[in-house]
Structure 1
Amino acid sequence: MKLKTNTELWDIILEINIRNVHVETLSNLNLQDITEIWNRCWLGYYYNMSYSREHMKVWLELSRVSLEYSTAIYHDRRVVGFTLLAIDKNEGWIAGACIDPAYRNNGLFKILLGSQLNLAKSILLKKIYLEVLEQNYARKAYQGVGFVNTRQLNVYRTLNIKEFKNEILRIPPVFSTTLDEYFINRSHSFFSPAWQRREGYLRRYSTYKAFLNDSETAGALLSGDKSGLLLDVWSSNLAGAKEILSAILHRTDSILSLINQPNDWISTALRSYGINPTANQYEMCVELS
């Protein structure tokens, strides 16, 4: 894809109804500023995206967002949109991108994305990934700057699974394992994780509990805090998927949350239990080389 030059981006700015627009990095903004901008821009989203200052700090550190290479779009002195860029070797991930609701439908998002891709290319990144809800109109803006769909991902958001747990009578044995053994076995399953399920990302959690089934063909990773959040789950076959899910669902509370699950043996097993995604999203990618 041929990226737009700064001159071409300025031509776009001249076509919109808002003047005094410019793009800068986020490097000069503090945590309080970023939290305020995030919460203001995500108002009215499909679900609650508001963060506390402490939550935002954890999110930025966990995602390894580079404020130096993330962008903000200003109207006069007010930030009216942003992109957060996480970097892993020569690839990047948009950890969040949004325009203030009061400034939408003015072409600002395209300017913001074009500037972010130019900045990413300047530091020799080869690919940029993101995820977007199936019904989100932002998909068209992403496609407009070169992003293409790579696959569909399933989201299971705070599902009450109490009734399903009662139907799962057999609880297969699983055993706890080290994180190293967990990822070694996962690599043998041909599981292709989305960005937030990559090994480097998951290893940044401060506490965790890793489990494998007896045949080591399926595994699950839970956060080690009181929430016991399901961070990752995979299997190389349907039998293993049912084993690990049966064991994990009985270990957790009556709420299931899981993000970025491909259409694989795990999603197939969940459907067999009557557990369906609450939302679908697309993984998208743009190649910068």
Structure 2
Amino acid sequence: MEINLKDARMETLENCDLQDITEMWNRCWRGYYYDMSYSKDHMKVWLDLSQVSLQHSLAILDKRRVVGFALLAVEEKDGWIAGACIDPEYRRYGLFTLLIKSQLNLANYMRLQRIFLEVLEQNPARNIYQTVGFKSMRQLNVYRATTRTIYDRQRLTAHPLKQTSPEEYFKIRKTTSFKPAWQRRENYLKRYSNLWALINQAGTAGALFAGDKSGPLLDLWSVNLTGAEELIPTMLRRGGKSLILTNQPNDWVFSFLLNYGIIPSAKQIEMCIELS
């Protein structure tokens, strides 16, 4: 298929409905490293959690067909690309570079100061982000790990933890050196319902959950090895056969898990660009 870049036009997504966005998302992510397909309900939750600003998010259209998009979330003077992709049939024509440059131009017009994103370590899009000015900040780890046999074999000791309110949890976390990625910022996490938290006795490690006692683990941090040793065995025992966690930096939690043979299932690079 021959594509003339002059035929491509850029529009915001503010007039797209949920059905259109879901179709666009699923089509453009075909063939990705893992399944990115969303139902309409899942897409609505994702847009609400991420607080994506559709009026500031861009799409590339070939005639009436969306062939690429960038979703932009905004928090004060910071922005976050909550997904950017090109339809597989339209790749290798320079459209992704055009899309990201256009999104940065719009962010500058909005007077944003910084744009963040995460990209899989092996994704070629990382090179394009670097070309347009994004800088690599750190590695973020994704865990989809089986842990039950490790817990049993190592006979890890669970330590007493105290349950606390989300307000107290974030108050304590603010006093530490932990630097959360975008999806683990306080405002993002507070959009989940029925939050509850655990903290170790010294207040040097904590975990945040959503829903009931079997709800998902949203946040996990420790500022030293002792805190990790006190907190994580309880997390492993509570999680049964698996540990599901995203956006975990190479911190004490990462070190503790690695020590017991729990390795990330995927690695992302957190990137940022400072805008003029």
Superposition TM-score, scaled by structure 1 size: 0.92
Amino acid across the alignment from 1:230: L
Where does residue 145 of structure 2 map in the other structure?
159
Query: Contact 2:148–2:236 (CA<8 Å) still a contact in 1?
Result: no
Secondary structure at the aligned position of 1:54 is classed as: helix
Where does residue 128 of structure 1 map in the other structure?
115
- Between the aligned partners of 2:145 and 2:223, the Cα distance in structure 1 is 25
Where does residue 39 of structure 2 map in the other structure?
52
Uncovered stretches (5+) of structure 2, i.e. residues with no partner: none
CA deviations over 1:21-45 (Å, ceiling 9, x no partner): 0000000100000000000000111
Shifted more, 221-230 versus 43-52: the winner is 221-230
Query: Contact 1:172–1:244 (CA<8 Å) still a contact in 2?
Result: yes
Structure 1 consecutive aligned stretches of length 4 or more whose deviation exceeds 3 Å: 16-19
In structure 2, relative to structure 1, the CA distance for the partners of 1:197 and 1:247 (3 Å cut) is: same
Query: Contact 1:228–1:252 (CA<8 Å) still a contact in 2?
Result: no
Secondary structure at the aligned position of 2:34 is classed as: coil
Shifted more, 28-37 versus 183-192: the winner is 183-192
2:221 to 227, 234, 237: 234
Uncovered stretches (5+) of structure 1, i.e. residues with no partner: 1-15
Shifted more, 51-60 versus 184-193: the winner is 184-193
1:216 partnered with 2:203? yes
1:24 partnered with 2:11? yes
In structure 2, relative to structure 1, the CA distance for the partners of 1:227 and 1:76 (3 Å cut) is: farther
Question: After the TM superposition, which residues 57-96 of structure 1 pair with which residues of structure 2 at under 5 Å, given as runs?
Answer: 57-96=44-83
- Between the aligned partners of 1:159 and 1:226, the Cα distance in structure 2 is 20
Query: Contact 2:9–2:61 (CA<8 Å) still a contact in 1?
Result: yes
- Between the aligned partners of 1:108 and 1:24, the Cα distance in structure 2 is 14
Secondary structure at the aligned position of 2:16 is classed as: coil
- What is the Cα deviation at residue 217 of structure 1? 1.0
1:140 partnered with 2:127? yes
Where does residue 187 of structure 1 map in the other structure?
174
Query: Contact 2:148–2:237 (CA<8 Å) still a contact in 1?
Result: no
Query: Contact 2:147–2:243 (CA<8 Å) still a contact in 1?
Result: yes
Amino acid across the alignment from 2:241: S
In structure 2, relative to structure 1, the CA distance for the partners of 1:168 and 1:94 (3 Å cut) is: farther
- Between the aligned partners of 1:53 and 1:285, the Cα distance in structure 2 is 30
- Between the aligned partners of 1:226 and 1:186, the Cα distance in structure 2 is 21
Superposition TM-score, scaled by structure 2 size: 0.96
- What is the Cα deviation at residue 200 of structure 1? 0.7
In structure 2, relative to structure 1, the CA distance for the partners of 1:151 and 1:169 (3 Å cut) is: closer
Secondary structure at the aligned position of 2:10 is classed as: strand
- Between the aligned partners of 1:188 and 1:284, the Cα distance in structure 2 is 24
- Give the length in aligned residue pairs: 274
Q: RMSD in angstroms over aligned alpha carbons? A: 1.4
Percent identical: 58
CA deviations over 1:112-166 (Å, ceiling 9, x no partner): 111111111111101000000110000111112111101111111x211111121
CA deviations over 1:231-265 (Å, ceiling 9, x no partner): 10111110101211111111123111111111111
